[in-house]
Structure 1
Amino acid sequence: MLVRLQLAGAPGVSEALFILRLETLAAERGRLGAENLVYTCSVCHKEYRSSKAHAQHLRSKLHIQKASIWSKSSSGPITVTKPVPHGVVENSDEGLTSAPYSDCNVNSSDEWEEVNDDDDVLSLNSDELDGIDQGQRVEAGISNHEDLDYWNATQCFFCDSIPDGSIGGCVQHMHQQHGFFLPDAEYLSDPQGLLSYLGMKVTKDFMCLYCEGHGKQFSSLEAVRKHMISKSHCKLRYGDEDQEEGLDNFYDFTSSYLPEEDAQLVSEEEFTASLVSLSASGEELIIKHAAGRKQGIKTVGAREFLKYYKQKPRPSDMYDGTLVNSLVSRYRRMGLSTKQTRDGFCNRKETKKAAHYQAHMMRMKLGIKNNILKNLPRNVLY
């Protein structure tokens, strides 16, 4: 080395310059060692190779929410720092995979990515969101309506708010804030199922509850919500037979039928014939039985079809009298009518038929009059 310096005419290296060179190399080695660290978040179970990305993750809203819950149950450090194992590089898609160390360029700026709050939220999986309730999901900006196959009955499907975590509070909120009202609440047999059904129609099918396919089609949840709020369509089209087909499963009007004292006397043979009948296939026996004012139906099948009957479980009783009574009491405290009058309920179809008949007669009279005027001779003046 000294001979080469002399041949090149370069001056010799002094002791001070040599020590300065050693310190520079040591500082550069320390900087490279600091960059080859893995920053692990103990709360979210995430690893970062960049201190800036890790610091930005610590400032995200979702991390702060999870850290507040995590601090109550654990006292360990939130951030754990450890060196990168030799021969391991980071792959953004597959995590940490083995690769030759020579292929890793520490100073390359293309390897690192800036992480913002939106990317941090979108990178979460279902396991990391188990400890977050629905309210925190809404605050974090996670829209998962399209991924759900059910709707939380305690959540408003007009604004995604959860008033107090109960169905009664949700119904009261929807009436006070949006004017939504469940008609004939005293005849409800499954209020929770009805709210879930309506929530899925709005949030998943993007369908207006009042128009219900007869009006404009919507392509997003925000569009259908703006339409219902601006047009005051936060209500059900109740009274239309076509629209009521999907609501029949959630109502039970047997208590509004004629009482027992108004029943007619029939013979025992007619009574037995009306209660026992064969199914359409002829393989099952249908028995109707009366329990008080309610009427139930039982189906009796042959023993040879037992293996097929076991494949179809018996439907569970979805009637919840306590929940229905709480909804009715809330509506009454708000001064709303929860039950239609018997005359109006029984004569609703007759009134509709009479209106159709009157309209038909009016059109027929106008048609006859126009036909007479068109076919009169020209010399007739009257």
Structure 2
Amino acid sequence: MSSFTCLNCGVRFATAEMQREHYKTHWHRYNLKRKLAELPPVTIEEFEKRLIQQKTEDAAAQEDQSLYCKACRKVFKTKNAHDNHLDSRKHKDNLQQYLAQSNGTNGGPSGSAPEGSRMDAEVEVSVKSTRAAARAAAAAEAEAAGDEEMAEDGDSDEWEDVEFENPIERNDCIFCAHHSEDLLENIKHMSIVHSFFIPDAEFCVDVEGLLTYLAEKVCRDYICLWCNERGRTFYSMEAVRNHMTEKGHCKMLHEGGALAEYVDFYDYSSSYPDHEEGMDVDAELDPSNALDGDEFQLVLPSGNVIGHRSLLRYYKQRINPNRAVVVKKSTQKLHKVLAQYRSLGWTSTQQEAAARNARDMHVMKRQQAKLMQQVGVKANKLQHHYRPQVNF
């Protein structure tokens, strides 16, 4: 019976030379590491099967090596995502650090690792905690999915917070990158190229402020002027510009509830029938003022006369729809804008539409003031102006 045995692998040898050669094999080293990890040894057949499996996995990994970034330790599912990552600034910084570390740790050119070293690495990985391995795999999968989703917009590490510059302040177009000499040329460009017109332009009291607000909605908040948060959501200025150009949405939503959004830029008081120069249309009437009149008519403080319903047939008269509406005096800039619009075939807003918008604006202003008053009263009730000196 031979006395030359290997207790670690459970085999016997005829000579001492064969035993010493066995101690140099990768199979013996593999079982030795498994013994340190408190794992049972494997036979030579099982070791060869695992070795073949490891070679197959290495060959598959070698095929996908082009989609793996060693410097950033990221795996990409598509070639497009991998190419965009290689052009990112974060990858270039990590690549310089990776090359510096590789040159510092490796004294010379490294040769190919033996096959047994890969099997040793497998044993070392098996010793680690399974929970940590699962957590690392989930993190790698999340990083790969994130890089694939952001491939079209570039690497997310390149994003930087920059201060918003309003295009109107630079005399740039809201809907494209066209630059004009001044604001009037910019308005003319938007009217001709993008068919953008300011609604009720004769009642607009702040043209530059209105355009500045519209530019902030489009270029900073990425909101379509016509959809006005009712449609899809955009995440870039180019996306919302393309949407407005393709859908023909280069126009303001100036009807319904959207009127309250632009109430600060318009003044319809000149379209009121009882309007007087310097009159405050939002001022409340003094109830102490007595109304003049008799039993068949009532004279209002504005001078209008209200007749009794019994005399309806006499007071009901046909009003000329072409009756002139007094337009409020505006700035020279507004006159130039209106002149440009008229040269393009624009006509002034009809009296009925202007009166309807004026009534809506007036009602919304009063409702807003009422809500603000209610909020102020509630806040006043909750405010403790005096603190008690002693609390029991």
Kindly indicate which of the two structures has a greater share of residues assigned to strand: 1
Class of the TM-score when normalised by the shorter of the 2 chains:
0.3 to 0.5
Report the structure, 1 or 2, having the larger helix content: 2
If the length of structure 1 is used for normalisation, what is the TM-score?
0.37
The TM-score normalised by the length of structure 2 is 0.36
Greater Rg by CA: 2
